């Protein structure tokens, strides 16, 4: 058994709690040996993994077991960190924020509770992955699409609660959340929205607000409760689909390209969460870095130009798609082509032009909601690769996009890393995902990464840029950048925390929200 204990809990108390938990879930679903605990650490950790280990893991099945485990944790003052499928790689994996927290693994709860073909939604439990729902829809002959992140093995609910994004017209996934069930620290079970009505059976997943305050949002990126099921609205298969790629030759082109995207997105001429990818993201997926640069440090310009030629891509590569009846797609394509043709050197590609292209192939799948793992291949950029996410938000505005890119590139390069990134475009904002790739076995790289990301967050904040999501190790720092008004926002979160979880057992430290008695 692990020697690690939850903070403030004696060995005897912890042993008693685990005995009680085994009685609830069965002895085979409480894990306390070192191998199992290590399997719940952050596989992409850049700090020593032993600073964020679980003390044990309980894996309840069903609402009754979940609430009973929470009751035991509450009685013994054991903090719990709930995970759904536990991927979240690049943001901390399944590791808890606070060393010694007990992990509540909800993966066994993997039922697809409902698929409504007519009203186009599904209801899923925490353990349902994107692959699972996609396969299920195909197996039952559904014409509904899901929206998926680039690695499809993660959980729908967990990713939605982290406000992750995808690439179809439903790419802002939390926008399509409708109805959730939450377990609070005192054991109360809450069904939100229309489902709060006694006997409500219709409309629970078609109108999410119900009556009164809409509270679902406070259970995202937070530690106010544990979500145990969620409704997600799905996109009906369109009558037509045409993915396309436009490449741009120069680094500075991110400015005019972003400005041109803005009206196309706001008028839905481009309906999907399109993406402008850096050269390095393209290259890392399909090239061997050592063939272009064997020395330490970022790739020189000459090597980047060679990669562009070899891959037949640009410094920036804009992937989007048209959806709908053929005449509508024809009309929209003309508008898009005329817009981007104003950028010198823009080149246009359709699926016919990119047959056999690995990157165009997986982007084609993503923009129609077909999960795959191809982008995970960016980790092949170096042996034993991993990456983390530094993810500031930008308005769809060329000046800001160029400034963020230049800032991130300069800091990454100065610390010896390539800039690898993309701008995922919503209707008015972009998620600028910077994904520095490092070697898990290179201690020097891992150390430099910490300094680099600390600097990225601070320098971004000085310019008014904030992250949409952050790695465990930087949650406090990121929360601190949202400190306007004497930390008014964080103080509000802490008041909610004290009201809903007065003893602070739910995920201490998540998003920088700590219970009063604990600290980072």
Partner 1 sequence: MKSLITPLALLGLATGSLAHAAPDGGTLFARNCASCHASGPGHPGTARLIIDSGPDVAVLEQRSDLNAERVTTAVRQGFQMMPPFRRTELSDAEVKAIARWLSAPKSKR
Q: Which residues are catalytic?
A: 91, 468-469
For residues 252 and 302, what is the distance between their CA atoms, to the nearest angstrom?
17
**Residue nearer to partner 1 on the CB measure, 258 or 473:** 473
Smallest distance from partner 1 to CB 373, Å: 4
Smallest gap from Cβ 140 to partner 1, in A, equals 6
Minimum distance of partner 1 from residue 356's CB (angstroms)? 8
CB of 114 to partner 1, least distance (A): 6
Find the Cα–Cα–Cα–Cα dihedral 336, 338, 341, 343, rounded to 10°.
Answer: -80
Of 193, 181, 202, 161, nearest in space to 63 by CA: 181
Name the residue with tokens 């997105």: 265
Tokens for 64, please give them.
């009754």
Per the CB < 8 A criterion, the answer to whether 24 and 30 are in contact is no
Name every residue whose Cβ is closer than 8 Å to that of residue 213 and which is 6 or more positions away in sequence: none
The H-or-E segment that residue 457 falls in is: helix 443-462
* Distance (Å, whole) CA 281 – CA 375: 9
Q: Kindly state the smallest distance separating residue 215's Cβ from partner 1, in Å.
A: 26
Rounded Cα gap, residues 364 and 362, in angstroms = 5
Whose Cβ is closer to partner 1: residue 83's or residue 453's?
A: 83
Q: Which long-range contacts (CB under 8 A, 24 or more apart) does 454-461 make?
A: 455/411, 455/415, 456/390, 456/407, 456/408, 456/411, 456/412, 457/390, 457/481, 459/407, 459/411, 460/392, 460/404, 460/407
- Rounded to a whole number of angstroms, the minimum distance from the CB of residue 113 to partner 1 is 7
Nearer to partner 1, 235 or 401 (CB): 235
Can you tell me the distance from the alpha carbon of 18 to that of 57, in angstroms, rounded to the nearest whole number? 9
Give yes or no for a contact between 401 and 423, defined as CB atoms under 8 angstroms apart.
Answer: yes
| Residue nearer to partner 1 on the CB measure, 140 or 489 | 140
In the complex, minimum distance from the CB of residue 105 to partner 1, in angstroms, rounded to a whole number: 5
Please identify, using beta-carbon distances, which residue of 144 and 346 lies nearer to partner 1: 144
- Rounded distance, CA 511 to CA 476, Å? 7
CB nearer partner 1, residue 110 or residue 200: 110
Residues that bind partner 1 (CB under 8 A): 29, 31, 35-36, 38-40, 43-44, 59, 85-87, 89, 93, 105, 107-108, 110-120, 127, 131-132, 135-136, 140-143, 152-153, 236-240, 286, 288, 325, 358, 361-362, 371-374, 376-377, 379-380, 383-386, 440
Helix (H, G, I), strand (E, B) or coil at 507: coil
Strands (E), 203-324: 226-233, 235-236, 241-248, 275-278, 316-323
- Our CB check for partner 1 shows the closer of 40 and 423 to be 40
């Amino acid at each position: 058994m692990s020697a690690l204990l939850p903070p403030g809990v004696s060995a005897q108390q912890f042993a008693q709690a685990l005995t009680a938990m085994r009685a609830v879930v069965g002895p085979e679903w409480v894990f306390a040996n070192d191998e199992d605990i290590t399997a719940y650490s952050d596989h992409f950790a850049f700090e020593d993994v032993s600073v964020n280990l679980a003390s044990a893991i309980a894996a309840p099945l069903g609402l009754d077991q979940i609430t009973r485990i929470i009751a035991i944790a509450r009685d013994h003052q054991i903090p719990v960190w709930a995970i759904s499928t536990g991927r979240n790689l690049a943001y901390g994996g399944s590791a808890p924020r606070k060393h010694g927290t007990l992990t509540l693994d909800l993966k066994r709860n993997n039922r697809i509770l409902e698929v409504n073909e007519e009203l186009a939604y599904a209801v899923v439990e925490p353990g349902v992955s994107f692959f699972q729902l996609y396969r299920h829809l195909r197996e039952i002959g559904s014409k509904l699409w899901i929206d998926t992140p680039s690695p499809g093995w993660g959980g729908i609910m967990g990713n939605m609660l982290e406000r992750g994004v995808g690439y179809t017209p439903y790419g802002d996934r939390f926008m399509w959340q409708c109805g959730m069930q939450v377990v609070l620290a005192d054991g109360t079970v809450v069904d939100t929205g229309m489902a709060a009505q006694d006997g409500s059976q219709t409309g629970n997943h078609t109108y999410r607000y119900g009556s009164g305050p809409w509270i679902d949002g406070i259970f995202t990126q937070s530690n106010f409760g544990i979500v145990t099921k969620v409704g997600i609205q799905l996109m009906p298969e369109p009558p037509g689909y045409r993915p396309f790629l436009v490449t741009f030759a120069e680094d500075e082109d991110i400015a005019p390209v972003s400005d041109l995207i803005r009206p196309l997105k706001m008028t839905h001429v481009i309906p999907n969460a399109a993406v402008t990818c850096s050269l390095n993201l393209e290259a890392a997926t399909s090239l061997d870095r050592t063939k272009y640069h064997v020395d330490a440090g970022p790739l020189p310009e000459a090597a980047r130009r060679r990669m562009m030629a070899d891959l037949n891509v640009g410094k920036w590569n804009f992937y989007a798609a048209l959806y709908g009846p053929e005449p509508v797609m024809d009309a929209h394509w003309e508008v898009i082509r005329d817009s981007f043709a104003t950028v010198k050197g823009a080149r246009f590609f359709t699926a016919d032009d990119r047959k056999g292209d690995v990157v165009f192939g997986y982007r084609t799948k993503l923009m129609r909601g077909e999960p795959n793992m191809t982008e995970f291949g960016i980790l092949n950029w170096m042996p034993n690769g991993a990456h983390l996410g530094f993810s500031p938000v930008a308005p769809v505005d060329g000046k800001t996009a160029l400034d963020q890119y230049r800032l991130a590139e300069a800091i990454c390069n100065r610390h010896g890393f390539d800039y690898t990134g993309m701008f995922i475009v919503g209707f008015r904002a972009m998620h600028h995902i910077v994904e520095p790739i490092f070697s898990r076995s290179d201690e020097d790289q891992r150390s430099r990464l910490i300094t680099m990301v600390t600097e990225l967050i601070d320098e971004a904040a000085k310019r008014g840029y904030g992250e949409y999501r952050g790695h465990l190790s930087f949650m406090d720092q990121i929360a601190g950048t949202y400190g306007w008004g004497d930390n008014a926002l964080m103080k509000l979160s802490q008041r909610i925390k004290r009201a809903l979880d007065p003893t602070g057992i739910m995920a201490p430290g998540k998003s920088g929200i700590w219970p009063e008695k604990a600290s980072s």
